[in-house]
């Protein structure tokens, strides 16, 4: 198993309320020339958590930070006009809180980040570090 020391949150950069799946993201990433979905987990609008790339495999989600991280993507991140916005549904928030608590146990030395900390992007359209401090 890889040594995990970062959990990196992403958004799918899709408009709020639009439902997409792991299969959609897998197709998008293959269209970019990747071997498949780069995220390890995807959180749907209803809060259900779906597996993407196996955690044992290096992801393809954050340049220069894939080998030691897990990538988590929630569906959304844009308002209806296509502007960056925290569009997490209450169900997505609950699922993410549960994931954070599980990751804290499974990977006690891991830190939590937003993609925007490593790239000039708005993704995931919320402040991960401050949000994680509120998760109990």
What is the CATH classification number for the domain harbouring 50?
3.40.80.10
Of 44, 85, 113, 123, the active-site residue reads 123
Q: What is the pLDDT of residues 67-90, one digit of tens each?
A: 999 999 999 999 999 999 999 999
How many domains, the chain?
Answer: 1
Torsion angle, alpha carbons of 49, 55, 59, 63, to 10: 90
Q: What domain range is 128 assigned to? A: 6-134
Question: Is 61 one of the annotated active-site residues of the chain?
Answer: no
Question: Is 125 one of the annotated active-site residues of the chain?
Answer: no
Q: Is 86 domain-assigned?
A: yes
Adjacency order of strands within the sheet including 6-11 = 49-51, 41-43, 69-74, 6-11, 111-114
Predicted pLDDT at 1: 76
Question: Is 121 one of the annotated active-site residues of the chain?
Answer: yes
Q: Is 50 domain-assigned?
A: yes
What span, in angstroms and rounded, lies between the C-alpha atoms of 39 and 48?
A: 15
Q: Is 1 domain-assigned?
A: no
Instruction: Tell whether the model's pLDDT for residue 136 goes beyond 90.
Output: no
Question: Is 113 one of the annotated active-site residues of the chain?
Answer: no
Of 11, 29, 39, 40, the active-site residue reads 39
Model confidence, pTM: 0.96
Q: Is 15 domain-assigned?
A: yes
Q: What is the pLDDT of residues 18-65, one digit of tens each?
A: 999 999 999 999 999 999 999 999 999 999 999 999 999 999 999 999
Predicted pLDDT at 95: 98
Question: Is 115 one of the annotated active-site residues of the chain?
Answer: yes
Mean pLDDT of 104-121: 96
């Amino acid at each position: 198993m890889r040594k995990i020391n970062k959990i990196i949150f992403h958004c799918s950069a899709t408009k709020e309320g639009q439902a997409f799946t792991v299969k959609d993201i897998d197709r998008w990433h293959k269209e970019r020339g990747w071997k498949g979905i780069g995220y390890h987990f995807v959180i749907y609008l209803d809060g259900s958590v779906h597996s993407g790339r196996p955690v044992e495999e290096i992801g393809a989600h954050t340049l220069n930070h894939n080998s030691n991280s897990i990538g988590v993507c929630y569906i959304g991140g844009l308002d209806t006009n296509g502007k960056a916005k925290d569009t997490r549904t209450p169900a997505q928030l609950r699922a993410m809180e549960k994931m954070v608590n599980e990751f804290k146990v499974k990977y006690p030395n891991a830190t939590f980040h937003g993609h925007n900390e490593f790239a000039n992007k708005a993704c995931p359209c919320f402040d991960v570090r401050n949000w994680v401090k509120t998760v109990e």
